[in-house]
Chain A
Amino acid sequence: MSRYAFDFSWDSTYGIAAKLLDETSRPGMVLDLGCGEATFAQPLTELGREYLGVEIDEGSVARCSDGGLDVHLVDLANRDIDVVHDRLIELIAGRPVAAIALLDVIEHLVDPATVFAGLARLVERLGGPTLVVSIPNFTHIDIATKLLLGRWDMTTTGLLDDTHVTFFGAARVEAFTAAASFVEIERRDKKMVATEQHFPLDHPAVSRSTTFRQFTEAVRGSGDEHGDTYQFVRAYRLDPTTITEPVDSTGASGARLPFCSVLVRTQGGRASIDDALTCLAAQTDCDIEVIVAVHSDDADVIDAVRARIARYARAFQQRVVVLPVAGGGRSAPLNAGLAAATGRYLAFLDDDDVVTVNWIEEFRAAADQQPGTILRAQCVAQEHAHTPEGLIEFAPIEGFSAPYNPDFDLVQHRQFNQSPICSWAVPMGAVRALRLRFNDDLAVLEDWEFLVRAAGFLGVSNRPAFTSVYRRFTDGWGSTKTVDEDVWLSTAQAIRNRLDMAPTLLPAGSIEPIARLREDAAALSAAYDVAIARVEAFERSRYWKLTAPLRWVTSRRGASISMIKLRVAGLRGVLNARHRAN
């Protein structure tokens, strides 16, 4: 008996594939390529389908034939594809083919591109039957976690079947099928959390209770949605008119990318956008692309922004792209920018903020220091007021302040933001790899939540130079404060709670300061206990009782010791509550 003689069930890959095939193809015969022991024949027969299988293993073919199944010997790996096709046409014998199944086969063949190209020709010759495939997902979390700890466990079947000669993740499946002009009709990918790779017992890579496994699951989940996909089960139709690029698995690209894309977020109406654009036009490092995301569905507003840009020097205009963004909240233009950016990094500038001439230059220096991390430089804040009666509608009312921690402290950032959006840039390679997006659900603080998530993965390259001015409008005019304070606070707490639900990777040196804080809090609490005990002992003393009449007089003029005691006790209560919360 072959190692591939599986028992059939409807929730198995074959069951899922059978239903998918039945729902996406016209009535008629199914040609099952590489059919093995023809397990797929059972559900298809139940669904009323005529079945024709081909297989390279003579023993399997013999057993299937003995069982009365229409299964024949064909070598799909034959280099002469015409010979294979002629043989298949001969076996089909003029019967209409509704679908071709290629289940758990392609990973056994050394040249998948040629196989898919041959399949495209066969499908065309047969008048366009549906193609249904199932392909094991080599990027499953089980393989990833074990590989991290140095384990590579080949098995007789499953994800690491020792007869597999090529491997697929989601992107490779999509690339190969698209290159052969197959268009996906529907997918029913088979999910499996605990695969046959779940051994040895209690290995930290496979035990889902371990922090290591939980963290790697969170990391893997950022890459794509296929961490728990066991097999890609998909149906395709052939569309010879689709033109796609040849598959390039090296990831290399000849196109020269700008160092940094800059997303200017605007609603279009404010004169302050000229401040932002002029700052960008004056940069010492001009290797930038400027994406002006106009968050408006008003064509006149968008045209007005285009007209503003058309006034700038030609060299700058050529670096600017206008990106209209309709609908959505504050995150919508940011996410549109993430999708459109072509630079190696992406920086952000709201239309009411300004930057110094070396803003990009400092980001480049940070990238040179630690490529691939979040790039951060220092930012000052400046209070502004809306001045509708003045010659211009906004004006500073205070000098610069430096309220943000010059160092990037991830733990502190988890408490509250220390980095306005104009003070950092994110590597686009990481944005794509981790599918980073601004959270659409957030009415405010979307930049903080994004930064903390991204920095947790990437770390931060921090520069001491001040390069940006965050203009704060205390009267609600600018982009900063358009919601009530209570919404702000409740959103902040919700973000903190959500972030705390996932395991967190902290940079080296993060734990000791926290440990010291807890020690300090414990020492303070103990000191207060001692103080309270002393006050209480004093109150029980003979002296205290004897001086009670005098105290009645003095208490008319100020706080009594009892009041002090109450305050100390209250403070102790707060400390204890915080200690318990920690």
Chain B
Amino acid sequence: MFRSVGVQVVVYHNEQAQLHRLAEGIAATIAQAKEAGVERVSVRFGDCAEPATIATMEDLLRPELDGVADNIEFVDFGANLGSAGGSNSLAAGRDDEVIWVLNPDTYPSPTCSVELLAALAQSGVGAVDGRQIPIEHPKDHHPSTGDTSWASGACLMFRREAFDQVGGFDDHFFPMYCDDVDISWRLKLAGWRVVHAPRAVVFHDKRITVGAGIEVSDFERMSGTLARLLLTRRYGRPDLEDETLDWISTDGAEEHRAAAEKFHVRVADGDVPTELPGAIDVAQFIEGEYALHRFRHTT
């Protein structure tokens, strides 16, 4: 069992009640981790908003974690670092053996930490994600080992050794999305396993649309499209980059066109991830997704 865990949450204009609920959930699950043998747990909230509001929430959140967490920090980044940059910043300069990244709109079940730690303790595993409810992620995993194409950043636990070895998240994936796919594939390139732990239950506040699909905001659609283009660039798939840009020019909505525009600007500025040698061995681009999917939700 690992001795120390650093829980970290990057927030950006999140509601106080949402973070309070998350703090309750974190406190309950790290209590279980400590019962299972973890000696030290730190919890860090980092705020990307300008101006940051996390300090005003400290009085509400700290009492939930006091007595369970050994160290609680509230960090004002002073700038919008994005999900990847914020997570790197919270992880930097620490010595926790395990880094646990949680989205601010999640709520881990009590045994989530213990299940994730058990999966992470398996031989060669560098990262593990939890099973999201009520909308389970459709990406496939090996039925008995849990090995999967990538691990979702909504609830993602790393060995620090693995995280540091690949240099953490790539903050080119700004503001959000696909930074988790990218780091998963880079971990695999470095020889680590990436697994899914279905017994590690994490509630993720995703909503269902009228058409029984998943609610996605215009901003999320824009970010997801931009992230896809960046991912194709990194993993040597110019064919998919062209295909995506072609589709945007013919059928894309306004938010897709905005993503293409940003992508072109970033290419012109050289602000895109560099292509990785051997990427083709780990990257999975399957029917528009980054893993084989067991089923499809409508978006």
Q: Give which listed residue, A274, A355, A395, A401, contacts B109 with CB less than 8 A.
A: A274
Contact with B along A378-402 (1 / 0, CB 8 A): 1010000001011110011111111
Known: A311-B28, A311-B32, A392-B198. A399 touches B203 (CB 8 A): no
A residues in contact with B212, CB < 8 Å: 380, 399-402, 466
A397 to B138, CA, bound (A): 9
B residues in contact with A315, CB < 8 Å: 24
Residues B109 and A389 in contact, CB atoms below 8 Å apart? no
Is B268 interfacial (CB 8 A cutoff)? no
Number of interface residues of B (CB under 8 A): 44
B residues in contact with A468, CB < 8 Å: 134
Contact with B along A263-285 (1 / 0, CB 8 A): 00000000100110111011010
A residues in contact with B143, CB < 8 Å: 387, 389-391
B residues in contact with A356, CB < 8 Å: 134, 205-208
Specify the chain A residue showing the minimal Cβ separation from B298: A399
A522 to B207, CA, bound (A): 44
Q: Which of B195-220 contact A (CB under 8 A)?
A: 197-199, 201-203, 205-213
Specify the chain A residue showing the minimal Cβ separation from B209: A466
Residues B27 and A313 in contact, CB atoms below 8 Å apart? yes
Is B136 interfacial (CB 8 A cutoff)? yes
CB proximity of B291 to chain A, nearest CB, Å:
15
Specify the chain B residue showing the minimal Cβ separation from A383: B295
Residues A392 and B131 in contact, CB atoms below 8 Å apart? yes
CB proximity of B167 to chain A, nearest CB, Å:
30
Residues B138 and A399 in contact, CB atoms below 8 Å apart? yes
Q: Give which listed residue, A279, A311, A399, contacts B295 with CB less than 8 A.
A: A399
Specify the chain B residue showing the minimal Cβ separation from A384: B136
Contact with B along A462-493 (1 / 0, CB 8 A): 00111111000000000000000000000000
A275 to B203, CA, bound (A): 8
Q: Give which listed residue, B17, B24, B64, B198, contacts A390 with CB less than 8 A.
A: B198
Is A363 interfacial (CB 8 A cutoff)? no
Is A448 interfacial (CB 8 A cutoff)? no
Is A354 interfacial (CB 8 A cutoff)? yes
The listed residue with most A CB atoms (<10 A of its CB), out of B17, B135, B138, B141, is B135
A406 to B211, CA, bound (A): 11
Is B111 interfacial (CB 8 A cutoff)? yes
CB proximity of A193 to chain B, nearest CB, Å:
51
Is B133 interfacial (CB 8 A cutoff)? yes
Is B146 interfacial (CB 8 A cutoff)? yes
Residues B25 and A282 in contact, CB atoms below 8 Å apart? yes
Known: A278-B201, A284-B17. A391 touches B146 (CB 8 A): yes
A308 to B114, CA, bound (A): 14
Is B107 interfacial (CB 8 A cutoff)? yes
Is A316 interfacial (CB 8 A cutoff)? yes
Residues A316 and B24 in contact, CB atoms below 8 Å apart? yes
The listed residue with most B CB atoms (<10 A of its CB), out of A282, A399, A406, A469, is A282
A residues in contact with B32, CB < 8 Å: 311
CB proximity of B290 to chain A, nearest CB, Å:
17
Is A312 interfacial (CB 8 A cutoff)? yes
Residues B297 and A399 in contact, CB atoms below 8 Å apart? yes
Known: A311-B111, A399-B295. A279 touches B207 (CB 8 A): no
Count A/B pairs, Cβ under 8 Å.
119
Specify the chain B residue showing the minimal Cβ separation from A464: B210
Is B294 interfacial (CB 8 A cutoff)? yes
Is B168 interfacial (CB 8 A cutoff)? no
Specify the chain A residue showing the minimal Cβ separation from B110: A311
B residues in contact with A274, CB < 8 Å: 109-111, 201
A399 to B296, CA, bound (A): 5
A395 to B139, CA, bound (A): 12
The listed residue with most B CB atoms (<10 A of its CB), out of A284, A357, A358, A390, is A357
The listed residue with most B CB atoms (<10 A of its CB), out of A277, A396, A464, is A396
CB proximity of B41 to chain A, nearest CB, Å:
15
Residues B28 and A380 in contact, CB atoms below 8 Å apart? no
A residues in contact with B133, CB < 8 Å: 275, 278-279, 354
Q: Which of B93-120 contact A (CB under 8 A)?
A: 107, 109-111
CB proximity of B127 to chain A, nearest CB, Å:
16
CB proximity of A306 to chain B, nearest CB, Å:
13
The listed residue with most A CB atoms (<10 A of its CB), out of B131, B133, B199, B207, is B133
Residues B24 and A278 in contact, CB atoms below 8 Å apart? no
B residues in contact with A275, CB < 8 Å: 109, 133-134, 201
Specify the chain A residue showing the minimal Cβ separation from B108: A278
CB proximity of A71 to chain B, nearest CB, Å:
74
A469 to B146, CA, bound (A): 24
A residues in contact with B111, CB < 8 Å: 274, 311
Contact with A along B137-176 (1 / 0, CB 8 A): 0100101101000000000000000000000000000000
A312 to B144, CA, bound (A): 28
Known: A389-B144, A390-B198, A391-B143. A398 touches B295 (CB 8 A): yes
A380 to B211, CA, bound (A): 9
A282 to B110, CA, bound (A): 12
CB proximity of B32 to chain A, nearest CB, Å:
6
Q: Which of A396-424 contact B (CB under 8 A)?
A: 396-402, 406
The listed residue with most B CB atoms (<10 A of its CB), out of A281, A358, A464, A467, is A281
Is B34 interfacial (CB 8 A cutoff)? no
CB proximity of A201 to chain B, nearest CB, Å:
56
Residues B107 and A400 in contact, CB atoms below 8 Å apart? no
Specify the chain B residue showing the minimal Cβ separation from A271: B199
A315 to B28, CA, bound (A): 10
Additional pairs, 9, CB under 8 Å, beyond known A284-B18, A397-B295, A402-B210: A275-B201, A279-B133, A281-B107, A282-B107, A282-B205, A390-B198, A399-B212, A400-B135, A469-B134
Chain A interface residues (CB < 8 Å from chain B): 271, 274-275, 277-279, 281-282, 284, 308, 311-316, 354-358, 378, 380, 387, 389-392, 395-402, 406, 464-469
Chain B interface residues (CB < 8 Å from chain A): 17-18, 21, 24-25, 27-28, 31-32, 64, 107, 109-111, 131, 133-136, 138, 141, 143-144, 146, 197-199, 201-203, 205-213, 294-298
Can you give 12 contacting A-B residue pairs, CB < 8 Å?
A274-B111, A274-B201, A278-B107, A278-B202, A284-B17, A311-B32, A312-B28, A390-B143, A399-B298, A400-B213, A402-B210, A466-B210
